[in-house]
């Protein structure tokens, strides 16, 4: 084999383990889901193999799915916004702290050591009628009767923010940590106040990190189903709950497949828009 | 030849130079792949060392583990691997996605679940000669299962109970409950303090009671759905598991819901002042131990026979707070069981209304889907 031919083959050889893994773990399962979405569920719960468009027609034309999808995107957007507002100062504080940065980062990672479900359920003990907050408020006499704080949209958003905030902080931190602090000093020496130098130098330079964090929070938030299940009330279901119900409760795998691909497509479009304007490089940095 | 011996021989051939390195690794990989493919089917082999059981978790699992599985393991040396599920529908999807033999025995609720499994081709055929303790079971409980599977059995009945009304006596009196019955779940004054199980059958059953219809023959379906919607608007939450039901009542997040008789009894035992009543035509159900097609039958039959032995069955029933399927005319059930909710001292179960499997399974596809929408505000 000529040197030229060997050089041409080398990237493919090096890429082959990753490509094999992606093919086996991502594309083939996705292909199965795609094929399933064209089957039909029969009255007994068994699947009828074939090429039917009924599931897709239902998923795309039924207002019920559209409404829940919009509700899901709205909840994910609010959650992302709150994560950005709360996460940026925290990331800034960590990035600018001098000696204890590793400890602060370790503290940020600590919640990941506890199961997401347990972290979500912990809010029941905090916000419940006999939870810690009501007990405290009753004890200090601010309220006479326990307040009903759980099982509404606010608690769903709270649970999502609790889960997603570290992702935002990490991404913004990576971005802020990479900014040369002497740039702020330069702005200050040219007469800018600290606030002006932050607004005109630091913030614009950290926007890619903020956007990457935002994308992660949005995508993860839009795909969640545990939080609305545990902390939501009767009308707080999100799109992933529909997929869960179709597949698990109704044993309608074909419809569940169509719905899950629909959610994947919507989130995929958002990622493509992000990539078009901001690029994926910053996201990779944040994840790394 | 077992796999260990096969690997040893391969290694020996390789070390002796009979096999090239490439062939050795190839054969090793093929043997591994074959082992992986065969493993799920090993349950069908004669030398069974373990049986998998899946049930409802919580106090039910604890009672089974302590009173049935641990003694069975000690006596036979066979291991019982127990898993849990939140509901029959969720479990069925797991079974559907599994390899034959992966799941063995399931604690199913309601004859309609039994019929569903049978219709999906998941039923097995028990050799009743291997389960002599079946003679102690209430005949009525056995007969309904035989009717579904052409006179054969794919399960043994194990216990029964009701889904009645559970209420906090601090906020709702026994008199009010007697007066309002199932309508208490539509009491507008209790908005935000009402809950219900996120199960379409239970919702429609109670909607039938609230609209004055027979649960096994709902003629005005729209009126029933309106009642489900009304209940949803007044509810704080739909609960999804027995643990969540107990937590919501014990923490006083809710004052009234329908609930499973055994779980409510467990709450009462823990000292919570929770009342329980079965309204007329309340939801009665019988549970069975269902053997899934592809399971090691003799091992499963041995376990089922052990579980049905009066001493085991009574101990489990006392632990899980549901009356056993044992006939009180044939077996002395002791002191506690006659005090359990839903217990029938006559062994006829005539006071309980069970779901007609054909009727409910016939409506399953449409009603489960509609409830999914109604549940979310539609």
Element (H, E) at B150: none
Specify the length of chain B in residues.
378
- Pairing mode of beta strands B353-354, B283-291: parallel
Handedness of CA A127, A132, A133, A134 (dihedral sign): positive
Interchain CB distance below 8 Å, A250 and B251: no
Q: Report the mean per-residue pLDDT for chain A.
A: 92
Q: Averaged over A179-206, what is the pLDDT?
A: 91
Determine the pLDDT at residue A186.
92
Question: Hey, is the C-beta of A251 within 8 angstroms of any chain B C-beta?
Answer: yes
User: What own/partner pairs with CB < 8 Å and gap ≥ 24 does A238-242 have?
Assistant: A238/A68, A238/A71, A238/A72, A238/A75, A238/A156, A239/A65, A239/A68, A239/A69, A239/A72, A239/A263, A240/A72, A242/A65, A242/A68, A242/B372
Tokens of B8: 């040893």
Q: What is the pTM of this model?
A: 0.82
Give the Cα separation of B374 and B215 in Å (integer): 19
Determine the pLDDT at residue A45.
78
pLDDT of B255-282, one tens digit each? Answer: 999 999 999 999 999 999 999 999 999 9
Instruction: Provide DSSP, A52-121.
Output: --HHHHHHHH-HHHHHHHHHHHHHHHHHHHHHHHHHHHHHHHHHH-SS-HHHHHHHHHGGGGS-HHHHHH
Q: List the single residue in A128, A245, A247 with the smallest CB-CB distance to B253.
A: A128
Q: Which of B376, B377, B378 to mutate to test the interface with A (most CBs of A within 10 A)?
A: B376
Interchain CB distance below 8 Å, B120 and A237: no
Helix (H) and strand (E) counts for chain A?
15, 2
Question: Hey, is the C-beta of A46 within 8 angstroms of any chain B C-beta?
Answer: yes
In a 13 Å sphere around the CA of B20, the CA atoms on its Cβ side amount to 3
Confidence band of A8 (pLDDT split at 50, 70, 90): confident
- Pairing mode of beta strands B235-239, B194-197: parallel
Determine the pLDDT at residue B8.
54
| Chain A residues with beta carbon closer than 8 angstroms to that of B92 | 45, 251
B314 in Cβ contact with B159 (< 8 Å): no
A170 in Cβ contact with A213 (< 8 Å): yes
Tokens of A110: 């600590």
pLDDT of B14-63, one tens digit each? Answer: 556 666 655 655 555 555 544 444 444 444 445 789 999 999 888 889 99
Q: Which residue of B has its CA nearest to A152?
A: B236
Q: Distance, in angstroms, between B236 CA and closest chain A CA?
A: 6
Determine the pLDDT at residue B270.
94
Q: Report the mean per-residue pLDDT for chain B.
A: 89
Which residues have CB under 8 Å from B259's CB, separation 6+?
A: B163, B164, B165, B166, B197, B245, B249, B276
Interchain CB distance below 8 Å, A233 and B373: no
Interchain CB distance below 8 Å, A45 and B372: no
pLDDT of B123-164, one tens digit each? Answer: 999 999 999 999 999 999 999 999 999 999 999 999 999 999
B313 in Cβ contact with B287 (< 8 Å): no
Confidence band of B355 (pLDDT split at 50, 70, 90): very high
A74 in Cβ contact with A152 (< 8 Å): no
Q: Distance, in angstroms, between A124 CA and closest chain B CA?
A: 10
- 3-state class of B274 per DSSP? strand
Question: Hey, is the C-beta of A160 within 8 angstroms of any chain B C-beta?
Answer: no
Can you say whether residue B288 is alpha, beta or left, with left for phi > 0 and alpha for psi between -120 and 50 degrees? beta
Q: List the single residue in A68, A124, A234 with the smallest CB-CB distance to B238.
A: A234
Q: Where does B62-104 show beta strands of DSSP type E?
A: 79-84
Determine the pLDDT at residue B44.
46
The one-character DSSP state at A49 is P
Question: Hey, is the C-beta of A231 within 8 angstroms of any chain B C-beta?
Answer: no
Tokens of B232: 């949803």
Question: Hey, is the C-beta of A229 within 8 angstroms of any chain B C-beta?
Answer: yes
Provide φ and ψ at A47, rounded to 5°: -100, 140
pLDDT of B84-94, one tens digit each? Answer: 987 888 899 89
Question: Hey, is the C-beta of A45 within 8 angstroms of any chain B C-beta?
Answer: yes
| Chain B residues with beta carbon closer than 8 angstroms to that of A253 | 93, 96
| Chain A residues with beta carbon closer than 8 angstroms to that of B236 | 148, 151, 233-234
Highest mean pLDDT among A33-47, A111-125, A176-190, B220-234: B220-234
Determine the pLDDT at residue A1.
66
Q: Which residue of A has its CA nearest to B230?
A: A234
DSSP lists the bridge partners of residue B156 as: B289
- Pairing mode of beta strands B105-109, B155-168: unpaired
B225 in Cβ contact with B207 (< 8 Å): yes
Specify the length of chain A in residues.
288
Interchain CB distance below 8 Å, A68 and B365: no
């Amino acid at each position: 084999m000529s040197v030229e031919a060997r050089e041409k083959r080398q990237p493919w050889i090096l890429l082959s383990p990753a490509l094999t893994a992606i093919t086996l773990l991502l594309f083939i399962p996705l292909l199965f889901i795609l094929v399933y979405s064209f089957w039909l569920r029969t009255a007994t719960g068994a699947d009828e193999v074939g090429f039917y468009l009924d599931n897709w027609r239902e998923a795309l034309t039924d207002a019920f799915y559209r409404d829940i999808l919009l509700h899901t995107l709205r909840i994910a957007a609010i959650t992302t916004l709150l994560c950005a507002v709360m996460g940026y100062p925290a990331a800034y504080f960590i990035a600018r702290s001098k000696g204890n940065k590793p400890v602060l980062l370790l503290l940020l990672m600590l919640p990941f050591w506890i199961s997401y479900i347990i972290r979500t359920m912990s809010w029941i003990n905090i916000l419940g009628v006999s939870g810690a907050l009501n007990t405290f408020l009753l004890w200090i006499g601010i309220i006479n009767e326990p307040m009903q704080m759980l099982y509404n949209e606010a608690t769903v958003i709270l649970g999502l923010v609790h889960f997603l905030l570290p992702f935002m902080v990490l991404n913004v931190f990576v971005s802020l940590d990479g900014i040369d602090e002497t740039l702020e000093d330069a702005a200050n020496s040219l007469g800018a106040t600290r606030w002006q130098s932050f607004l005109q130098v630091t913030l614009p330079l950290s926007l890619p990190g903020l956007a990457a964090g935002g994308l992660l929070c949005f995508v993860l938030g839009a795909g969640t189903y545990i939080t609305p299940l545990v902390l939501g009330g009767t009308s707080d279901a999100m799109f992933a709950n529909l997929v869960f119900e179709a597949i698990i409760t109704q044993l309608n795998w074909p419809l569940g497949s169509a719905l899950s691909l629909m959610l994947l497509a919507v989130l995929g479009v958002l990622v493509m828009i992000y990539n078009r304007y901001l690029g994926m490089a910053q996201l990779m940095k944040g994840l790394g | 030849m077992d796999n260990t011996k096969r690997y040893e021989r391969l290694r020996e051939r390789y070390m002796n130079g009979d096999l090239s390195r490439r062939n050795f690794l190839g054969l090793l990989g093929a043997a591994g792949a074959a082992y992986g493919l065969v493993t799920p089917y090993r349950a069908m082999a004669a030398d069974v060392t373990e049986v998998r059981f899946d049930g409802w978790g919580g106090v039910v699992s604890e009672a089974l583990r302590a009173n049935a599985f641990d003694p069975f393991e000690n006596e036979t040396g066979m291991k019982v691997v127990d898993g849990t599920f939140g509901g029959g529908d969720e479990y069925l999807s797991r079974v559907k996605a599994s390899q034959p033999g992966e799941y063995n025995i399931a604690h199913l609720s309601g004859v309609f679940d039994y019929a569903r499994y049978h219709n999906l081709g998941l039923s097995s055929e028990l050799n009743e000669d291997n389960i002599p303790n079946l003679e102690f079971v209430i005949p009525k409980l056995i007969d309904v299962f035989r009717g579904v599977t052409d006179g054969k059995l794919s399960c043994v009945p194990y216990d029964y109970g009701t889904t009645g009304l559970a209420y906090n006596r601090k906020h709702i009196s026994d008199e009010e409950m007697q007066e309002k019955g199932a309508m208490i779940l539509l009491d507008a004054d209790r908005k935000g303090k009402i809950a219900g199980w996120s199960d379409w059958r239970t919702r429609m059953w109670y909607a039938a009671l609230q609209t004055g219809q027979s649960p096994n023959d709902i003629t005005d379906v729209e009126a029933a759905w309106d009642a489900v919607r009304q209940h949803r608007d007044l509810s704080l939450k739909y609960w999804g598991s027995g643990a969540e039901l107990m937590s919501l009542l014990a923490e006083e997040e809710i004052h009234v819901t329908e609930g499973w008789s055994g779980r409510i009894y467990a709450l009462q035992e823990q000292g919570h002042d929770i009342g329980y009543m079965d309204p007329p035509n309340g939801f009665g159900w019988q549970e069975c131990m269902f053997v899934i097609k592809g399971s090691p039958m003799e091992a499963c039959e041995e376990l089922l026979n052990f579980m049905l032995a009066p001493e085991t069955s009574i101990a489990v029933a006392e632990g899980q707070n549901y009356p056993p399927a044992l006939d009180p005319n044939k077996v002395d059930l002791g002191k506690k069981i006659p005090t359990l909710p839903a217990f029938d001292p006559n062994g006829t179960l005539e006071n309980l209304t069970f779901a007609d499997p054909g009727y409910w399974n016939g409506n399953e596809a449409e009603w489960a889907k509609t409830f999914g929408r109604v549940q979310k505000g539609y």
